[in-house]
Structure 1
Amino acid sequence: MDRIWERPSEQHFKLDWNEASVPPSPRVYEAIVSFLSNSNHLNWYPELGSRSLAESLADYTNVPAAQILVTNGSDDALELVCKTFLDPGDAVLVPQPTYTHFLVYARSRGARVVDFFSRDIFSADIERLEAQVRGGQFKLVYLVSPNNPTGVVYTRDEVERLLIAAPSTLFIVDEAYHEFYGETVVELVNQYDNLVVTRTFSKCFAIAGLRMGYLCTSDYAVGELAKPFNPKSVNRLGQVAAQACLDDLPYYGWYVSEVDKARTFLTAELRRRGLSCYPTPANFILVQLPEPTRFCALLAEQGVYIRDRSDLPRLPNFVRMTLPTLDQSEEVLRRVDIVLAQMRSSSRSAAVASPGPEGL
């Protein structure tokens, strides 16, 4: 297969939405072509409930297939949870800053979102969080682990503490970046009724365009979620592609390794250039610099697209960059250097142009 990352000089780098920077496994293409070539039956609805895929996910997660719902990306899973469990006036606790689209789902139900801020945004601040949820005043708590964009993680022990502290509160743990982090709380759904874990095929598995995700939860919660759930909502090609992803885990192991190498390389190189760089256990890093909006715009002119996150609370002057592969990182860094030189040059020109005290 002709791999697009082998031609960096011709390539644009879309590093703004934390999608994979490589194509999915070749098996994904092979599986889709095979399906379309052999009595594909696109005139029929997809497999109801994606039960075959749920069986494979049971092996992948160590959660029974009956406790898994396959959805249109993890966004669909988050919306389903809100639709099922939230009523107008319910209080939802959300550690901030975090993935903002969840707030849309919660507020669309008439829920009241309460922000929680750690004393250090790069820490879970679990003692204060536990104190906040104790007493069950919140209907739902939303945790992203690793968090987007700060990279904060909630360990298994920490999540279990919260589940015990507030047994009447439903906790969502969004593990969109699980494959990069490698640790999970998913098996806790076998022990606690008040936990839902959501995941996606859009990040590590590189099929964001096919919108595949899933949730794992307890017998009780899955029974409630199944009531509004549409079992034919997941498209057939997505089902085929997701199964092919699970059939080629070594390919994705290679990709995770590339992201790990790129994280180490880019963090060191950006710091060497005098930038404040914050690595995360996910597939992105945060960089703090004086003019984030201008930096992003100039970098886009070089064909590298990253995300200005300075609009989020307590992230002054921060940008977020999805991690490419190690080979891609060298070309990305070359273009970053061009932009840094442009910004230094314009700063010097502005300083020369500014009148001194004698000219005032």
Structure 2
Amino acid sequence: MGISKADIKWIGVWLYNRRAVVEIAGKRSRWFPIKRGGPQGSCFTPILFITYHFDMEKFLCIAMSFFFADDLAAVIAAITDIRFTEQCIDLERRLNHFFALLEFYAILSVQPINYIKTQAMFSARAVSYPNPMPRISCRGILRLDTQTHLEDLSNEIFFEIFDYLHALDIFSAFASLNKRISSILRSISLCILISRNHCRNQIDFLSSHLTFHTHQVISIKIRGTIRDDSSIFSLLFSRQDFINLQFCRLTTIDRSTKLDNVIKQIKTFDILVSFNISNLNDETMNVDDKCELTRTMLMHQSSSLRLIVLQYTYDYSNVTSLHLYIDGSPSIVSVLSVIAILRLCHRVRYLHIMLKDNSPVDDTNI
């Protein structure tokens, strides 16, 4: 493992001959030796534990394993192209095999399993639980003996689940389920993702639910052309007002698409952090929208704006007069930023630059 003998000896001395005492209600027990484990609260103890069990995931290769300190969560997915009953039988067989491997690993590593805390959860997108439930035993103790319904999960777990889902998936699966879920949906942040695989019916469904949740949208990633429509930008931005949008990415804009509503809303985004527009087929983008969008983003007033990406060609060749008003410290506004502009506007004959800054200006800066 690449650990030197000196380090191994130091670890041994650190762990050897340790003692402990138990105190209950002011009364102490006698001192007794600690033959396993490490000192509580030491940063070295979890590192040593992780190093000792670094091969556990490979040993339990029949499952997808997740580790957190001394906790292990294993996920075994069913085979999807067989009947539900056969899936349950197959899962029962593989789960029992997994527990057998886990017990064997515990023996090899001299690391006991806490059977009291060992639990199994069965999850399926079916009308009801399988009858009978899969029988799984670990050291003779039957697991899966209780049924946990979706409504039994805590709010914290729902928040974790929703962090991994986009708005359309959330509304499709959880909207109008019950009052508790609806209450949770009103307090989460939403991310909208629309790709080429979506259709107009899905967009209309999403838009109808966004009516009461628009203020929760913080991120948008939209493709303007989907399977059966090419005006998604106009549709969403005309129906919704994304007042709290922070991250915006728009791609594949059709020539017939008008970005008036999009540009109008962009001007009002006070907490916008990142704006990215990428038109891979640049010839289809409306020329007037290019001009207005470029001007709007370069003059945006949001103090939180950190990234602007305008990935489309824009013809600056006819610009002969250029007026620049720069407001910023010389330490961050370099002359190189103006040179980059002049390379685009190579026909400029009249250049006027105004710098607003109270600090001294160096010769190498503007």
TM-score clears 0.5: no
Q: TM-score, normalised by structure 2?
A: 0.24
Greater RCO structure (CA 8 Å; 6+ sep)? 1
Which structure dedicates a bigger proportion of its chain to helix? 1
From the CA coordinates, give the structure whose radius of gyration is larger.
2
Q: TM-score, normalised by structure 1?
A: 0.24
